[in-house]
Structure 1
Amino acid sequence: MKRLYRHLLFLSLLLVIGIQVASAQATPAKQTSRNILEALETTAPGEGVVTINQAPELRRLVGAPNSGAVLGREGNYTLLMGYRVQMFNSNRSGAKAEAYARAEQIRHIAPTMSSYITYKAPFWRLAVGNFATREEATQARARLVSTLPAWARESYVVRDKVRILNYTDPNSREE
């Protein structure tokens, strides 16, 4: 009888553990928020509740992510956070010369695309283009990689401060 009791106890323990694991996996994941204010106000089981009271105009200004915001103007150019295609990144000996050689190759292939060579110790980098959206940069990368397939593995889209000629902010409202 004791043996049967032990088996039943063991099976019930396994059942309880199984139910807890299943319920933990079934707990809905926290949804991603569009801004910091929504993230703070999101409720989840076992967590406290945060309520933020403020004017809707302030919420729009403070809570909005800073993507595509105009950083400044230089003549006909607008400075903003955008995208470039990084085509080279190395810290090997001779990396500087290789970065300049690759920039020259890209100038022949895509003369309208600007090249930017930077050095942040210990890496030499070559990035090309000034794109307001990630989609534009991805399309440019695809065109470059189709012409230079050997560079495909080390090229990717990066976020950077860019200069766009005659840019008008689609979010600005003229009153």
Structure 2
Amino acid sequence: MRLRSYHTIGLAIITLLMTASTLRAQESVTDSLTVRSIFDELALIKEGEGTVFITQSPDIAALVHNRPTLITKDDLQAGYTYRSGYRIQVFSSNDTNARSTASHRAQQLKDAFPEIETDVLYKAPFWSVRTGSFVTREEARDFINSLKGRFPAFAREMYVVPSKIKVPL
């Protein structure tokens, strides 16, 4: 019985953190709009709705507020683990010159965004290039727009793919 309650608490915390990231991704940041966390949102008093009181460690709130949207190479220096996330596929082909094209595109990405992890992958018979490590699909979509603006020649080939990503420990 005790193990089940720890499991339930763990799932509640994970759900809370994922909901917070979704809320933050949906809010647009402008000069007139402040970004609120899930905790701030729950604590708002709304007419006709109940009141939520949150008692929590400040460490939990700090984790929600400080979670990176794009995980860079510097974030991974202290070590990392893998989790489900999203990457941007920039190239995929099985043409005879696919290997050299993949290497060329990967180098272009590394030159333009040196802080972002870019990989050339081979899964027979396809060569592909994937970049970035994103926790949510929305974050990947936001970044893909800047990639398409920077590389319009192959913008039509770019799309978000579910992938295992490296996350800092």
With the length of structure 2 as denominator, give the TM-score of the two structures: 0.54
Note the alpha carbon deviations across 1:94-119, whole angstroms, 9 max, x for none.
Answer: 10111011000001111111111111
* Superposition misfits of 4+ residues, deviation over 6 angstroms: 55-58
The structural deviation recorded for 1:75 is: 5.2
| Alignment partner of 1:155 out of 155, 158, 169 | 158
The structure showing larger relative contact order (alpha-carbon pairs under 8 Å, at least 6 residues apart) is: 2
Equivalent-residue separation in structure 2 for 1:77 and 1:136 (angstroms): 20
Equivalent-residue separation in structure 2 for 1:131 and 1:78 (angstroms): 14
With the length of structure 1 as denominator, give the TM-score of the two structures: 0.52
Structure 1 equivalent of residue 87 of structure 2:
84
Equivalent-residue separation in structure 2 for 1:110 and 1:124 (angstroms): 21
1:104 and 2:68 aligned: no
Note the alpha carbon deviations across 1:129-152, whole angstroms, 9 max, x for none.
Answer: 111111111111111110001111
| Alignment partner of 2:126 out of 117, 123, 127 | 123
User: What SS does the corresponding residue of 2:139 show, helix, strand or coil?
Assistant: helix
Q: Which runs of 5+ in 1 are unaligned?
A: 1-54, 69-73, 167-175
Read off the aligned partner of 2:93 and give its amino acid letter: S
Kept in 2, the 8 Å contact 1:131–1:164? The answer is: no
How well do the aligned residues superpose, as a CA RMSD in angstroms? 2.7
Read off the aligned partner of 1:104 and give its amino acid letter: Q
Identity across aligned pairs (percent)? 39
Structure 1 equivalent of residue 63 of structure 2:
none
Quick one: structure 1 residues 108 and 75, their matched pair in 2 at CA, closer, same or farther if it must change by over 3 Å? closer
Structure 1 equivalent of residue 46 of structure 2:
none
Q: Which runs of 5+ in 2 are unaligned?
A: 19-76
